Chain A
Amino acid sequence: MNNRTSIRTASLAVAASAALVLSACGGNGDDDENGNGNGDNGNGEAAETGGTLSIANTEPQNFMPGNSSEVGGSKMLEQLFTGLTGVDYETYEVVPGVAESWEANDDATVWTFELRDDWTFHNGDEITAQTFVDTFNWVVDPENGQQNADFYDVFLGYEDVVEGNADELEGVTAVDDYTLEIELNEPFSPLPMMLSYTGFYPVPQEAFDDPDAFEQSPIGNGEYQMDGEWEHDVQVAMDRWEDWPGESQGGPDRIEWRLYADMETAYLDVQAGELDLLDTVPAPQYGDYEASFPENHAIFETSSFEYLGFPLYQEEFEDPDIRQALSMAIDREQIIESIYHGLRTPATGPIPPMLAEYREDKCDACEYDPDTAAELYEAAGGPSELTIYFNSGAGHEEWVESISNMWQEHLPIDDIEFQSLEFAQYLDLHDDEQIDGPFRLGWSTSYPNAQYTMEPIYTTGVSSNYTHFNNEEFDDLIAQANAETDEDAATELYQQAEDLLLEEMPIIPLWYGQSVMVHTDAIDNDSLLMDYRGFTRVEQVTVLED
């Protein structure tokens, strides 16, 4: 981390010249305020601001915070909006956003957030506690069909609103203009971190009046504001909002998100200098980027977690030994080397490496050990025929085949079939409990907390629990951890829960994602940072030239 910072400072001098020219052109009175925000980080930082960054992105599905559950839209909304809380992307700790402080009662069921009084939306509308009350109620209201509604399920009164028995969330109240109180169904200490997520951003009245029009040019309260409308399949342009009350990290004055249907095209555009930055080099270029961009590339780990789950409702997978044996017979390193050019991180559990709760050596069954695997499998009487399920058209064919070869080679398995299905069809099979073999799924961390990496997938009866894992001890550990207000104690409980998962092994952890960025000479390589969601922190990218 230190090394990174010092390199970044060295590059400031270059950035400064470009930025000075630009701020001279801009010449408005807001420069002062901008400077103040940066002052905390040292004198030179203010000059880092400037330039235009063009970066590749995909066409968003939705452009409304409450409804944005995919990366294309979320990446951009993050720049347009600021939530109650935010995330420090170096330490993954929760930091103030619109709320300057917060506290919980003893059992973490009632939370009080003190809001700053100087926040407005880009259009000048003031942001008060009532803004959040209105936003939260609107997102949860089933009539508005917002995909992020279920993130609110710990809020008191959630069920009533969803079932149509109430119009408003009982648990959310504006005590006064700048005090927001949130009461929960159950103790939940990760709340402040969860509130940094896209689905909790405040939206102005315009959004409720005409959501469709709002999505064409969202008005937020973030560091950047829309310049014009969302040009579908072409670009979304945003300019620095000089009145932003938050703490600026420098970064470009203007961001142009170019929307690509195919990232291979974007890759060529970076090569030709038409595009500054591509942060998700597509797999076919994994073998090429080092040659084409010897200096101008960077690799980051993400929280994107890929696993093979077991349908625990099928008899032949009831024995944990069988599940462990299958895991041990997979040589993850070899698959990563031969199929992904080394661009994956072998997984040792659901908690990804960038989180504080991560531990490296905790999963014995994730170690490649074909001999033990064969013994275990044989002793437990594992099935001699298997079917592997995965969704088609997403590049899973190769590694699934690799794994099936390893299983057939090391374990007493005669025949393995593949079932690759369209995603919609695939999910239907899960809902109907018609999966009868290991199945591929993935999970990404929406907010950086161990709770989110486990609770929504492995606790009894939750909607994403495709394995039907049902373990009271695990549920208890998660509940205890959620109720624990002491961070270290909570960490320990989450880790215990993870240990239990690895012992029971309802899923085989495979690998975490890695993303390769490539860029032109216009971008300072040392300023690049990608977060746990795989989002480039564009607000701190240094543009050297335009």
Chain B
Amino acid sequence: MTQYIIRRLLQFIPVTIFATLIVYWLVFSMPGDPIRALSGDRPMPEAQVEAIREQYNLNDPFLVQYAKYMWGVFTQGDFGTTFQGRPVLDIIQQTLPTTLTLAAFAFVFQGIIGIIAGILSGVYKDRFIDRLVQVSTVVVVALPTLAIAFLLQLVFGLNLGLFPIAGIQQGLVSYILPAIALGAVSTAMIARMLRSELIEALQSDYVRTATAKGLKRGRVIGRHGLRNSLIPVVTFMGADLATMMGGTIVVESIFNIPGLGGQIFRSIQAQEGTVVVGIVTLLVLFYVTLNLLVDLLYAVLDPRIRYD
């Protein structure tokens, strides 16, 4: 087990280097000079442009730029600064908690609602509640996150006035609508996935055996049916938590939430390699860590899985 974890942790190194290299190269190879674009229609004096280019190593060849940057990150924890001089670490420290809060809300929301709906739908197969879950999840999956976000904002924010429309100034309640928007599609996916897994499990031999042994139905479903059905769901939710970061780009901008997603979007537009790579490095680490946790969680759900 320990060996397995160490081996997985060692894999972090090539994954991180490879991912950041690609991202850095993508930002680097975007056409146009980002410094030139900083001042808009009115060009900056040549001397100022040079000063800024020098400061950000923009005159160096690609690999040198990348190496200088990575050296700073891993030796001094220096993630560089934006073209405006703000340390990237500052940005991450400020935006990360916000995005994590949002993601946590969405995660809890999709976990609870998705699993409850999935169980109800699987257990009461072909009954009204099942049909309801089936139809509503198809609708949600078909709608783009963008549309869901606007819909929630208009109905629950503006017309009913139940939740704040945007911003985070009103505390945790501000996160509810964005979290629902962010988690909606996954909630539907989880419900549908769990439903089919559960239906299959409930028809399997071991469940029939358990029922034959005279176990209560609740225990049969919970301990035998559900536990097995949850493995793919956990895999999905783990991977989803990481990809959720992509969804935050849309949701954070619509709900005006000052998080990582909005920041990464703006930085890509401004071709700020340092910010993009800083955040991406973080996301990559986040993703591989989550994957590891998910893999470890399998053993809890299915004792047959071994790691050595």
Contacts and interface: CB of A to CB of B under 8 A. Distances in A.
Contact of A260 (B30, B153, B166): B166
Contacts of B167: 234, 258, 269, 274
B67 to A, nearest CB: 24
A268 B157 contact: yes
Interface stretch (A12-20, A45-53, A418-426): A418-426
A422 B40 CA distance: 12
A150 B42 CA distance: 10
A72 to B, nearest CB: 12
Contacts of A463: 42-43, 45
Contacts of B271: 424
Contacts of B42: 69, 456, 463-464
Interface stretch (B13-21, B48-56, B129-137, B204-212): B48-56
Contacts of B41: 441-443, 464
A365 B87 CA distance: 51
B138 interface: no
Nearest to A273: B161
Given A268-B158, A424-B37, A463-B43, A234 B165 contact: no
B44 interface: yes
A471 interface: no
Given A147-B38, A427-B37, A422 B31 contact: yes
A258 B30 CA distance: 32
Nearest to A464: B42
A543 to B, nearest CB: 18
B33 A428 contact: yes
Contact of B33 (A232, A235, A268, A427): A427
Interface stretch (A98-106, A125-133, A138-146, A338-346): A138-146
Interface residues of A, number: 52
Given A422-B31, A423-B37, A268 B253 contact: no
Interface in A66-114: 69-70
B253 A262 contact: yes
A145 to B, nearest CB: 4
A496 B299 CA distance: 84
Contacts of A425: 31-32
Chain B interface size, as a band, is 35 or more
A262 B261 CA distance: 14
A491 B222 CA distance: 86
B256 A262 contact: yes
B47 interface: yes
B164 interface: yes
Contacts of A163: 47
Given A424-B37, A425-B31, A261 B262 contact: yes
B43 A268 contact: no
Interface of A, secondary structure class, is: mixed
B169 interface: yes
A453 to B, nearest CB: 13
Interface string B198-235: 00000000000000000000000000000000000000
Contacts of A146: 48
Contacts of A234: 167-169, 258
A146 B85 CA distance: 12
Given A262-B254, A272-B158, A69 B39 contact: yes
Contact of A422 (B32, B43, B154, B263): B32
Interface in B149-175: 153-154, 157-158, 161, 164-169
B8 interface: no
Contact of B45 (A162, A262, A268, A443): A162
Interface string A201-224: 000000000011001000000000
Interface in A399-455: 421-428, 431, 441-443
B32 A145 contact: no
Contact of A424 (B33, B153, B164): B33
Contacts of A262: 253-254, 256
A265 B256 contact: yes
A62 interface: yes
Given A272-B158, A422-B32, A427-B37, A215 B44 contact: no
B246 interface: no
Interface in B48-102: 48, 50-52, 55, 84-87, 91, 94-95
B158 A149 contact: no
A11 interface: no
A410 B59 CA distance: 48
Contact of A268 (B50, B166, B263): B166
Best-surrounded residue of B41, B95, B255, B262 (most CB of chain A within 10 A): B41
Contacts of B168: 234
B34 interface: yes
A271 interface: yes
Contacts of B256: 260-262, 265-266
B47 A162 contact: yes
Interface in A54-73: 59, 61-62, 69-70
Interface string A244-288: 000000000000001111100110110110100000000000000
A235 B252 CA distance: 16
Contacts of B55: 145
A132 B187 CA distance: 60
A233 interface: yes
B166 A265 contact: yes
B262 A147 contact: no
A258 B258 CA distance: 11
Contacts of B45: 142, 149-150, 153, 162, 463
Nearest to B170: A274
A265 B255 CA distance: 7
B44 A147 contact: yes
Contacts of B44: 147, 149-150
A145 B43 CA distance: 13
Nearest to A443: B41
Contact of B153 (A268, A431, A442, A456): A268
B36 interface: yes
Contacts of A61: 38, 84
A164 B153 CA distance: 55
A423 B32 contact: yes
A243 B45 CA distance: 37
B159 to A, nearest CB: 9
Contacts of A261: 252-253, 256, 262, 266
A163 B161 CA distance: 59
Contacts of B255: 265
Nearest to A429: B32
A207 B86 CA distance: 15
B32 A428 contact: yes
B47 A268 contact: no
B40 to A, nearest CB: 7
Contacts of B252: 261
Contacts of A59: 266
- Between B31, B47, B84, B262, the greatest number of chain A beta carbons within 10 A of the residue's beta carbon is seen for B47
Contact of B165 (A145, A147, A268, A421): A268
12 contacts: A149-B45, A150-B44, A211-B85, A212-B86, A233-B258, A235-B169, A260-B256, A262-B253, A272-B158, A274-B167, A425-B32, A427-B43
What are the 9 A-B residue pairs with the smallest beta carbon separation, nearest first? A424-B32, A233-B258, A425-B32, A424-B37, A142-B47, A425-B31, A463-B43, A145-B51, A150-B45
Given A61-B38, A268-B158, A441-B41, 5 more contacts: A232-B94, A258-B167, A421-B31, A423-B32, A464-B42
